[in-house]
Amino acid sequence: MMNGKGKGPLSIEQNPKKQRKWDWGKIGLIEGGYVLGKRDEEEKFRLARVIKTEPIKMPPEEFQVHNDMHYRYYVTFPGLDRRWDCFISRENILVDQEQIQAAIDDYETSEKKEKDEKSTIFENDENKGMDEKAVQLHINATKVKNILRIVIGDNMTPTWYYSPYPEPYHSVETMYICEYCLSYFACREEQVRHSYKCQMYHPPGDEIYRCDQLSVFEVNSSYERIYCENLCLLSKLFLDHKNLFNETEIFLFYVLTEYVDGAYHFVGYYSKQKESVEGYNLNCIFVLPFYQRKGYGKFLITFSFELSLIEGKLGTPEVPLSDLGFLSYLSWWSQRLADLLLKCEKEEMSIDDISKETAMKLTDVVMVLERLNILRYHQGQHVIFAEKGYLEALYKLAGRPPLAITRSCLHWTPYILPGSNKMPGPALAPAPAANNHSSMSS
């Protein structure tokens, strides 16, 4: 827009009206600019980029200039996953051009090094299959978390990413979620009122596994559409996947609960396509943050392979994996193969045998064996070469042993799509027998 004198547009500094609104004082914290920031007092300052500035409280009209202390700043930390993005106050921001430039230089060097290492070791590209424009569109549309925390059951947890909850819940700082039906509420009172009416104390669907306190329910999204949509919205708060929102009807959901004080408390879930051309046996896995690092993620992965063994199919997770998904799978795969080789009594075992025994796809078996440095190429063929001590060390290094699945407690028949004349293949592993623990137990 031109001004009256025809001298071109007014700059922000020249325009007194805009200046009142956008003057960041002497510091100049502009959206898109780099600063040094920290999430709380305990942390050290690190490179941060201001994505959004938002008034904490509008200053009274008589203030000619807004002080930058009146704002909070939504920042992203280059080099860290987007789940660390958050609002921080001005006290946790440092603006020193020299230090900022040094931090930018450090970041650029470490990013280049990481890229080089990734391309030589193993690539888990979170944007695989997407062009740059689609990735950028996703980042722009989801760059600010719309819900900052959730309260579910007796727990509160900060969220990690944007999730497309509908209006008017699209943008609330605290979301209250019923842990049984996963309905969501913008205020505590509504949720409390709901809890008096809610008839559910476990997920819908069939309980297909129960052992001690753990149960798994199979939920068919064709019959429980709302529940499954709520499940996807909830997990999207912790998943930065770009293409999560396919039609939910094509999935079955396996919901893990912990039975305490007469109710089944939601722990996490994984989804599985009713029919997967690509051979995926798990599409999306999620464990509530306050239940994480207790072995439930690996339990769900074991579960997905147990179902594949019963179906007589080989399985693999949908790619790309998130960073935590990749770490969890790597830990599970490594322990599964190390455990199998340690217990193997046969004189010879081919990669094909390993694949059939575990229900892991051949390419995954080869990738993991190579990564563990126990697959050698000798006289024109692959040979697995590993000493007992080395395998034991690998097993330990991969983390805590996964929670065992008691096969006799699993009651499941494979889902057959209506109208499909396909029958499940023969079971890959021996049929479940009473008190027969999975070979993963230790």
Which residues contact ligand ACO (rule: CB under 6 A)? 238-239, 282, 284-287, 292-298, 317-318, 321-322, 324-325, 327-328, 331, 399-400
The minimum distance between CB 306 and ligand ACO, in angstroms, equals 15
Question: Which tokens hold the place of 3?
Answer: 């001004």
Q: Is 95 in the site for Zn ion (CB under 5 A)?
A: no
> How many residues of this chain interact with Zn ion, rule: CB under 5 A?
4
Sole residue written with tokens 């209006």: 167
Q: Is 374 in the site for Zn ion (CB under 5 A)?
A: no
Residue environment code for 160-179, b if the CB has 16+ CB neighbours within 10 A, otherwise e: bbbbebeeeeeebeebbbbb
287 contact, one of ligand ACO, Zn ion, none, CB 5-8 Å limit per kind = ligand ACO
Q: Is 181 in the site for Zn ion (CB under 5 A)?
A: yes
Given 306, 311, 318, 357, which residue is catalytic?
A: 318
228 contact, one of Zn ion, ligand ACO, none, CB 5-8 Å limit per kind = none
Residue environment code for 344-373, b if the CB has 16+ CB neighbours within 10 A, otherwise e: eeeeeeebeebbbbbbbbeebbbbbbeebe
Q: Is 41 a catalytic residue?
A: no
The minimum distance between CB 180 and Zn ion, in angstroms, equals 5
DSSP secondary structure of 35-58: EEE-SSTTSPPEEEEEEEEEESSP
The minimum distance between CB 324 and ligand ACO, in angstroms, equals 4
The minimum distance between CB 181 and Zn ion, in angstroms, equals 3
By beta-carbon proximity to ligand ACO, the closer residue of 198 and 404 is 404
H/E segment holding residue 285: strand 284-287
Residue pair 175/169 in contact (Cβ under 8 Å)? The answer is yes
DSSP secondary structure of 319-368: SSPPHHHHHHHHHHHHHHHHHHHHH--SS---HHHHHHHHTB-HHHHHHH
Query: Which sign, positive or negative, has the C-alpha torsion 22, 28, 33, 35?
Result: negative
> Ramachandran region of residue 347, left (φ > 0), alpha (ψ -120 to 50) or beta?
alpha
Q: Is 234 in the site for Zn ion (CB under 5 A)?
A: no
Q: Is 198 in the site for Zn ion (CB under 5 A)?
A: yes
| Interface map 243-282 toward Zn ion (x if CB under 5 A) | ----------------------------------------
By beta-carbon proximity to Zn ion, the closer residue of 45 and 169 is 169
Write the CA distances from 252 to 20, 134, 140, 188, 409, integer angstroms: 54, 27, 31, 31, 20
Question: Which tokens hold the place of 306?
Answer: 């147990």
The minimum distance between CB 320 and ligand ACO, in angstroms, equals 7
By beta-carbon proximity to ligand ACO, the closer residue of 21 and 400 is 400
List 48, 75, 178, 228, residue binding Zn ion (CB under 5 A): 178
341 contact, one of Zn ion, ligand ACO, none, CB 5-8 Å limit per kind = none
Active-site annotation, residues? 318
Binding footprint of Zn ion on the chain (CB under 5 A): 178, 180-181, 198
